[in-house]
């Protein structure tokens, strides 16, 4: 989680980004939990977004805005 927070701090403090986002496998509950814990929110679900082991999988797009990051830091 420290690496995630470090990357977020760099994105918002140094690069002055307004918004950052990520895409994660919907079935990866541990990753989704970690991202929510550091402040990301679910923006939407991408249906059949990627193909692995003969099956299509849905993904979740999560984001955080700079204002929210500095409000929760």
Report, as residue numbers or ranges, the catalytic residues: 35
C-alpha to C-alpha distance for 4 and 68, rounded to whole angstroms: 15
Is the CB of residue 64 less than 8 Å from the CB of residue 8? yes
- The H-assigned helical ranges of 1-73 are 2-9, 29-37, 66-72
């Amino acid at each position: 989680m420290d690496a995630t927070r470090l990357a977020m701090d760099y994105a918002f403090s140094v690069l002055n980004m307004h918004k950052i986002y990520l895409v994660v496998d919907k079935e990866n509950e541990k990753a989704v939990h970690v991202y929510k814990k550091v402040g990301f929110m679910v923006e939407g679900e991408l249906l059949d977004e990627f193909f692995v082991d003969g099956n299509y999988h849905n993904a979740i797009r999560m984001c955080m805005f700079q204002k929210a990051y500095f409000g929760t830091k």
